[in-house]
A and B are shown apart, each in its own frame.
Chain A
Amino acid sequence: MTRWAMAIDLDRCTGCEACVVACHAENNIRLVGPEEAARGRAIHWLRIERYYEGEYPDVRVRFVPVLCQHCGAAPCEPVCPVYATYHTDEGLNAMVYNRCVGTRYCANNCPYSVRFFNWHAAPWPDPLQRQLNPDVAARPAGVMEKCTFCVQRIQRARQQAADEGRELRDGEVQPACAESCPTRAIVFGDLDDPDSRVARLSRSGRARRLLEELGTHPAVFYLARGARESSGEP
């Protein structure tokens, strides 16, 4: 049994947003343009939230890369009237674009505000469409979308492993964000494998989860800033 999860080391994250662009490049996320962006329609499956603490001159800033937390008990799932979003047995919070009718209820019920709506159809001025990733469906207007943990990469890796007649290795599957991360702050893997890096990080004393108190069982672990303690951390 596999349960995909992610660990993000906030002590390594410098907020460079390479992951954000990598996500766009991998997942055919549409450009909305300045006007739409000003209307709050910009789409970033992954964003770096920054929070100020204190006032000038002693200000601190916290960065939190926020993406779909692929909750074990996802509030977005039961409210979808057409099963457009549901839970795969690998713990992914899957989004089926062509089932979606666009009630946007899932987005309202997501405490992490990581779901996005296609308010318009996507423009790809020629030859920009040549960059589109053939493994990822382009979304029509009127449907929700969100981070998929790069499910296409998971599929590809699994296929390859199958071809070579072996199990998936830890760290073999890398979402676009994790792969691009200059500081290697993002670790992805199988939580059910106790020896996987992500599993070990999730047991670290620095590990927290976002809005855990809501009982959503997020699959993304955040490692707090500051010195790591030796226990368990790879």
Chain B
Amino acid sequence: MNRVRLQALFDDAPLARRAVARLVEAGVPPAAIELRSATPQPSLPGAGGRSWIPLAALVGGCLGALAGVSIASLTALDRPLVTGGMPIVAPFPVGIIAYEATALGAILATVARAVYEAGLRPRRTPVGPLDAQLAAGGVLVEVVTADPALGRSCLGDARRLALVPEERPGS
């Protein structure tokens, strides 16, 4: 029996939240529900929670610093050429290199972590009829279910409602 994808566009976050509540009561597994918006909606479920990005930045920074110090000093020791009467491993330059490397490490770690936490990876995403209107504001609630009636029963107060037959992989 084929499943359908229900899309409901709500004007604001509270309405959307209530709709989600109804769906869950109606026994829809939370995993089947997805919320989307064109602007950050801090009040939506899932928007809170703690983020490990700062920690990642810290770790990345430390690794970067380590890399910086080692590359600046080990390469010098590898070819111990004295120049300008300076020590072979000169503290100031090593410090400067380490400083930049720290920043680099932290930046890379931050981006990587952010992408990971957002679960982003290059892929196609199915787009329903209502996605385009999301830009004008509001919150989109999407349910993948076997029973189209859910739409009317739980998502009645949506501004717009749409129903798309779910294309099966392989069919």
| A–B direct contact (CB < 8 Å) | yes
Q: Could you tell me which A residues sit within 8 Å of B by CB distance?
A: 72-80, 83, 85-87, 217
A83 touches B79 (CB 8 A): yes
Interface residues of B in 88-142 (CB under 8 A from A): 90
In the assembled complex, the CB of A191 is this many whole angstroms from the nearest CB of chain B, namely 16
A78 touches B86 (CB 8 A): yes
- The answer to whether B85 has its CB under 8 Å from any CB of chain A is yes
Could you say which interface size class chain B belongs to? under 10
In the assembled complex, the CB of A70 is this many whole angstroms from the nearest CB of chain B, namely 12
Given the complex of chains A and B, what is the CA–CA distance between A80 and B81 in angstroms? 12
A86 touches B82 (CB 8 A): yes
Given the complex of chains A and B, what is the CA–CA distance between A83 and B81 in angstroms? 8
- Report B-chain residues with C-beta under 8 Å of the C-beta of A79: 84
A interface footprint on B73-89 (CB within 8 Å = 1, 0 otherwise):
00000010111111000
B79 touches A77 (CB 8 A): no
The interface residues of chain A, by DSSP majority, are classed as: loop
A74 touches B84 (CB 8 A): yes
Given the complex of chains A and B, what is the CA–CA distance between A39 and B24 in angstroms? 83
A75 touches B84 (CB 8 A): yes
- Report A-chain residues with C-beta under 8 Å of the C-beta of B83: 74, 77-78, 80, 83, 85-87
Given the complex of chains A and B, what is the CA–CA distance between A78 and B90 in angstroms? 10
- Report B-chain residues with C-beta under 8 Å of the C-beta of A83: 79, 81, 83
- Report A-chain residues with C-beta under 8 Å of the C-beta of B86: 78
A87 touches B82 (CB 8 A): yes
In the assembled complex, the CB of A161 is this many whole angstroms from the nearest CB of chain B, namely 26
A-B pairs with lowest CB-CB distance, top 9: A73-B85, A77-B83, A78-B84, A77-B84, A86-B81, A78-B83, A87-B82, A86-B83, A74-B84
A-B contact pairs, 29 of them (CB 8 A): A72-B85, A73-B84, A73-B85, A74-B83, A74-B84, A74-B85, A75-B84, A76-B84, A77-B83, A77-B84, A78-B83, A78-B84, A78-B86, A78-B90, A79-B84, A80-B83, A83-B79, A83-B81, A83-B83, A85-B83, A86-B81, A86-B82, A86-B83, A87-B81, A87-B82, A87-B83, A87-B84, A87-B85, A217-B85
